[in-house]
Amino acid sequence: MRILVIDDDVELCALMSELLKRESYVVECQYDGRRGLERALSGQDDLLVLDVMLPGIDGFEILKRVRQQSRIPIIMLTARGEDEDRIVGLELGADDYMSKPFNARELVARIRAILRRVESKPTGSRIELNGIALDPGSRDVFKDGEPVQTTTLEFDILESLMRSAGSVVSRDALMEKMYNRKATPFDRSIDMHVSHLRKKLEGDRTLIKTVRGIGYQFCRSAEEAAAE
């Protein structure tokens, strides 16, 4: 598996590269936004670690352009305490984020968890519920027969919810399955990804219902969506 790191901190890149190579990943580092974007769009890599503050083009612009063409998993690196940066990153399609300074081994663990999920072979058959069709083999999603673009993580969350349609899937269970870590009160990653799915899929109907304090439920019908 190939990992692209775009960060202008040469020492940090060297540390990440050393740790990731120990895990048998192939690592490419780019220190400039423009060159990083060119590499990210080449399709050569399986995961992107992307810093926000970069010379040339900032990380948000890179993220935006990559998301127009690719589902590659992306972990954003943001300055500590910059909650707005994290929210913007997730809104633009990042899969996960970490605040600088961070524990390098935790980053490796997050990368491993995402790539393990991406590498897993699709199981189960095509699902069709409430106007939404999901194909695990091709990882395609359709709304009323029309294709809908989803990120890797959005697809996996949607599949989990649809396979448990009618039942509530807890936020903790989604965090564990998607990220291999426990949810914290301040980590809104899952909530942001569910919000993206709603914007892409729902329109004038409710498909994913929030069960306050517990998690989310994919509704099989309008009657189920309306039920308390």
In this prediction, residues 123-145 reach a mean pLDDT of 89
In this predicted structure, which of 42-46, 53-57, 60-64, 178-182 has the lowest mean pLDDT?
178-182
**Phi-psi category of 30—alpha, beta or left, where left has phi over 0 and alpha has psi -120 to 50?**
beta
Q: Whose structure tokens read 């019908």? A: 221
What pLDDT sits at residue 132?
A: 94
In this prediction, residues 184-199 reach a mean pLDDT of 86
Q: How many CB atoms lie within 10 A of CB 154?
A: 21
What pLDDT sits at residue 160?
A: 94
In this prediction, residues 169-189 reach a mean pLDDT of 84
Within this chain, do residues 142 and 87 fall inside the same structural domain, yes or no? Answer: no
**Residue 123 pLDDT greater than 70, yes or no:** no
Domain of 213, in residue numbers: 127-226
Q: How many structural domains are present in the chain?
A: 2
Q: Single out the residue in 60, 93, 119 at which a domain terminates.
A: 119
In this prediction, residues 184-213 reach a mean pLDDT of 87
Within this chain, do residues 29 and 113 fall inside the same structural domain, yes or no? Answer: yes
Q: Single out the residue in 72, 89, 119 at which a domain terminates.
A: 119
pLDDT digits (tens, 9 = 90+) for 193-207: 999 999 999 888 889
Within this chain, do residues 9 and 41 fall inside the same structural domain, yes or no? Answer: yes
Calculate the dihedral angle through the C-alpha atoms of 88, 91, 97, 99, rounding to the nearest 10 degrees: 20
Domain with 68 in it: what CATH number? 3.40.50.2300
Within this chain, do residues 6 and 115 fall inside the same structural domain, yes or no? Answer: yes
**What is the helix (H) or strand (E) element at residue 128, kind and residue range?**
strand 127-129
Amino acid at 133: A
What pLDDT sits at residue 82?
A: 67
Within this chain, do residues 33 and 52 fall inside the same structural domain, yes or no? Answer: yes
Amino acid at 213: G
**Residue 83 pLDDT greater than 90, yes or no:** no
Within this chain, do residues 96 and 155 fall inside the same structural domain, yes or no? Answer: no
In this prediction, residues 145-149 reach a mean pLDDT of 93
Within this chain, do residues 110 and 139 fall inside the same structural domain, yes or no? Answer: no
Within this chain, do residues 24 and 115 fall inside the same structural domain, yes or no? Answer: yes
pLDDT band at 210 (very low <50, low <70, confident <90, very high): very high
